[in-house]
Structure 1
Amino acid sequence: MQLRFPGALLHHHQLLQRLVEREIAGRYRGSVLGWGWSLLTPLLMLAVYTFVFSQVFQARWVDLEEAGPLGFAINLFAGLIVFNLFSECVSQAPTLILNNANYVTKVIFPLDILGVVSVAAACFHAFTSLVILMIFQLLAQGAVPITLLWLPLVWIPLVGGCLALSWVLSALGVFLRDIGQVVGIVLNMMMFLSAVFYPLSALPERWQPILKINPLVVIIEQTRRVAVAGESPSAIYLLAGSAIALLFCELSHRAFQKARRGFADVL
């Protein structure tokens, strides 16, 4: 099957670039700290989660017990970066078309790039959090693993999955207004079922295969592997994950293009 969505998006690359810049700049326009909020927010989240889980509940990272709260915080933050990227994309998707209804009546406007803009903005904030993670590693451990360079490849399935879900959920959100409420509930559940606050190895063996059904668990584990443990990613994950993500993107893009024909009638 020939992939159509990359060519469709590249055709509007200049418009896409301007919309991404506007989305990032507009989020903090008028605020006192501006872009500083993208730094402060993950730091505050890291501090609270680390205190609650490592001090109140006395949680320890199974593979890094000697590292104490610092090791826990680094692993926790690496998982949070992945989950927050996913959550930001998915939570905005159901209202993506509804909030830009004025574009629906403009036949020449490519509605499919709205999902790309949302994912690109989320990736920017994830990159900001990643910079904080590296600074934290330098202060706590004195070095950043060179295997961190694998991260762009490790995140191909994540970004592809977020883009595909953005197209699917944004189209469904036009016809089913309740989809936003469902997505909110599912995200709250997934936060605790995606191995964000614990390693997969901490679970009993009978539960590990069940949690691996959740793609986020695999992505988070691979992210920690290259960003924290200093190990190379799984070759099977890179190949299979990327192929599945591309296929999912293609199918979702085609479904979105078919569904958009009915947007104007509903809106």
Structure 2
Amino acid sequence: MDDEYSEIVKIALRDAGNKLLLTNQDSTSRVLPITKIGNNRYQLSFQNTLSIQPDSLVSIMESSLAKLGIPEHYRVEVLQCEDSEVAYSYEMMSVIDNSEIPCAERDLPDACYILQVRFLNGPDLVSITYLILLAIVILSFGFAFRKKEDPELAAVERNYAMIGNYEFHLEQSKLVFNQEESNLTKKECELLEILNERINETVKRDELMKRIWEDNGVFVGRSLDTYISKLRKKLKLDSSIKISNVHGVGYKLEVQV
């Protein structure tokens, strides 16, 4: 149940992120994949810089979460990318009179921001079931009428992720490009999953090796380079995809929009 709830939260936060971009007259840049960074805590980030109007942020977040029936008791923090300092924060409670929403003297200027949202009351079984049913109804209605498909919503329904023009089927250990399938080994799947979770971000070499090899009791220095090379070959049909070697740090899965 927790996995289903997390997916619903990610859909709502992605919707909020897209609306924030539209307030900046930006309809082309991407909301990066929503990540769960702790218990009932999620992170929302953007491909490009943006300015944030606190009043708009409050109303957009409330609308996007309420649309999927997510409980209203949550805290939002806007962090500056360069130093992780909190530029703005507020807390929303189920009773609006008790919400702590500070007035901002001015809009947050155009810069790189990360939004972190923490839900202060964990969902119970009844709430999760209700949210799942509500999400199914909303998504079914949306799929019938929207012209352009949202990749993250589609991934929930189809159970695969889009990486550029590739379909990444984690459970089936394969990539699909123009109906042509390419099988992946277990290690290739694990590596691609981690890189895709933090797309367009550098993932440290030590982290990759620890999560994929050391946790399984095996630690081979050249294994990572070998599997990166294999993934590059299997993703080469899409020129918008590149796995970059950040010298001395790690690797980055880059997808051009």
TM-score normalised over the length of structure 1: 0.23
TM-score normalised over the length of structure 2: 0.23
Kindly indicate which of the two structures has a greater share of residues assigned to strand. 2
